[in-house]
Amino acid sequence: MKFDKKYDILIIGGLGHVGLPLGIAFANKGLKVCLYDIDKDKADQVSRGEMPFIEYGADPILKKVIGNELTVSTEMEEVAFAKHVVVAIGTPVDEYLSPKLRGFFSLFEKFANYLDESQTIIIRSTVYPKVCEQLEKFLLKKGLAINIAYCPERIIQGYSIKELNELPQIVAGLNQVAEKKAIDLFSTLSPKIIPTKMGEAELIKLFANAWRYISFAISNQFYMIATMHGENYDSIRKALMDGYGRAANIPGAGFTAGPCLLKDTMQLASFTANTFQLGHAAMMVNEGLPDFIVTQLRFTHDLSKVTVGILGMAFKADIDDTRDSLSFRLRKSLMFQNAKVVCSDYIVNDPNFISKELLVEQSDIIIIGVPHSDYKGIQFPMNKVVIDLWGISKLVVPSSVTFNS
Ligand SMILES: NC(=O)c1ccc[n+]([C@@H]2O[C@H](COP(=O)([O-])OP(=O)(O)OC[C@H]3O[C@@H](n4cnc5c(N)ncnc54)[C@H](O)[C@@H]3O)[C@@H](O)[C@H]2O)c1
C-alpha cells in the first residue's frame, strides 16, 4: 500500500448525476467518501451543502454529511487515499454513434501514478462490453495488478436516493477478490446483491436501457400510426389496456430523450457490428417524433405565420436536466420552417424561457414537451391548437384530432 487510506470510497466524476447521489448515499451509511471532480463550480456549490441539480431527497442528507463523512476535492492526488475507487464519469457515443472511449482511458493514464494494488476499482459508468478487461490489461502494462469490478447504475435520474436503497445491485468482478470487495461495499447500500459474470453484467446494463428505449419506440410508432389516421392514440391505448393484462405495460407516447437510453442502445448496436436492427429502428422512431409533429403541422398550418410554444424543455418530467432533450430538437425543426418559437419550463433555469401563462397567451400552437407535474390537468383556451403527446392536459380537442382540424 503506497498511501494510508483515509477514505472508504473516492468517486471520480463524483459531482455528476450518478456520482453525487451515490456518494451521498454511501456517506449516509457512515462511510468516508471523497467526491473527486473537475468541475470547480459544482465543487464549491456541493461543499456549501447545495445540490447542483434536482435529486429528490438528497438536500437534507447532503447538508448532514458534508464536511463530516463526505468531502469534495478537485485534486486528483486524493485518489491515492481511497480503498475503493468508483468511476462515474460520462461515457458518451461519438458523432458516428460509436462509444467514445478515449476519455475513459486517458483518465487512468493520469491516475496511474496514484493507484496501488491494495485498491479496488469499481466501474459505475455504463461501459461498452469488454472495457473492464481492457482496463485491466491497460493497468497491467503500467505494472498495476488492480482488482476491477463492474457495478452498473440502474437508477432513474432524480430518484436515486430512494432507489439506491431499493434496487438490487448487479456485481461482477474480474477476479474473486474484486467481486467480494464490491459485494461487501454495495451490501451497505443495496437490499440485494446479484453476482454475475462480467460479460453478463455489461450486457444487463445495456439490455436494460435498450429494452426501455425500444418499448417507448413501440408506443411512439403507434402514436404516429393513430395520428396519421386521425385517431387519438391516448384513447386507443386506454381502451386497449382496460381489463387486458397482456397489454398492461404499454407505455404512453412521448419524447424519449436524455443522455442514457439512446446512447446505450447505440453502444449495443455498435457492439453487435450494427446488426441490432430493433435498436436502430427505435432510434429512427424516437428521434423522428419531433419531425413527425412538425410534418403533421405543416399539413394544416403555414408555420411561418404562427407562434409555436413548447411547454417543457427538460428531457423528462420533474427534473431540471436538458441533456439531449427532444424539445430542443423540436424547436430547431420548427425554426427551420420559419415558425416563431417560444419556450417555457418552470424547473429549468434559462433566461430565454418565458412563463407558462405568457406562452399560452402568445402561442397559436402549444406543444407539451415534457409532462411536468405542474402541467397535469392543464386546460388551454379553446382557440389554441394543442399537441399533447402525453395525454396529460384536459383537452377539449384531443391531440390527434387537432392535427387534422
Ligand atoms: N444519469 C443517469 O440517470 C444514469 C443512470 C445510469 C447510468 N448512468 C451512466 O453513468 C455515467 C455518468 O452519467 P451522469 O449522468 O452522472 O453524467 P454527468 O455528466 O452528470 O456526470 C459526470 C461527471 O464527471 C465529471 N468528470 C468528467 N470528466 C472527469 C474527469 N476526467 N475527472 C473527474 N471528473 C470528471 C463531470 O464534471 C461530471 O460532474 C454514464 O456512463 C451514464 O451512462 C447515468
Same domain, 370 and 248: yes
Dump pLDDT digits (tens) for 301-316.
999 999 999 999 999 9
Same domain, 331 and 182: no
Let me know whether 285 and 181 are in one domain: no
Q: What is the pLDDT of residue 393?
A: 87
Sign of CA dihedral 251, 297, 280, 88: negative
Ligand 1 atom closest to Cα of residue 160: 3
To the nearest whole number, what is the mean pLDDT of the chain? 95
Residues 6+ apart with CB under 8 A from 340: 306, 307, 308
- Between 362 and 391, residue with greater pLDDT: 362
User: What ranges in 155-260 are assigned the alpha helix state H?
Assistant: 160-163, 176-186, 198-228, 233-241
Give the model's confidence band at 2: pLDDT under 50 very low, under 70 low, under 90 confident, else very high.
Answer: confident
| pLDDT bucket at 395, cuts 50 / 70 / 90 | low
Ligand 1 mean position, distance from CA 15 (Å): 8
CB 348 within 8 A of CB 322: yes
Q: Does the pLDDT of residue 349 top 60, yes or no? A: yes
Q: Which atom of ligand 1 is nearest to the CA of 15?
A: 39
Task: State if residue 262 touches ligand 1 by the CB under 6 angstroms criterion.
Answer: no
User: Does 2 fall in a domain?
Assistant: no
pLDDT tens-digit profile of 184-229? 999 999 999 999 999 999 999 999 999 999 999 999 999 999 999 9
295 and 191 in a common domain: no
Residue 398: the pLDDT is: 42
Q: Please, are residues 402 and 385 in contact by the beta-carbon 8 Å criterion?
A: yes
Residue with the smallest CA separation from ligand 1 atom 12 is: 90
Both 157 and 197 in one domain: the answer is yes
Residue 24 near residue 61 (C-beta atoms within 8 A): yes
Do 321 and 267 share a domain, yes or no? yes
Give domain status of residue 306, yes or no.
Answer: yes
pLDDT number for residue 3: 78
Same domain, 172 and 290: no
Residue 17 CB–ligand 1 contact under 6 Å: yes
User: Could you tell me if 25 and 153 lie in one domain?
Assistant: yes
User: Is 258 close to ligand 1, i.e. is its CB under 6 Å away?
Assistant: no
Position 210 in a domain: no
What is the CA(100)–ligand 1 centre distance, in A?
13
Domain identity same for 378 and 317: yes
Task: Determine whether the shortest distance from the Cβ of 13 to ligand 1 is under 6 A.
Answer: yes
The verdict on 50 and 177 lying in the same domain is yes
Full domain range(s) for residue 138: 7-203
pLDDT at 369: 97
pLDDT at 22 over 70: yes
Give the pLDDT score at 183. 98
Give the mean model confidence (pLDDT) for residues 280-294: 98
> Is 218 contained in some domain?
no
For the chain, what is the domain count?
2
Helical H runs in 94-153? Answer: 102-111, 131-141
CA distances from 59 to 158, 163, 270 (A): 12, 16, 38
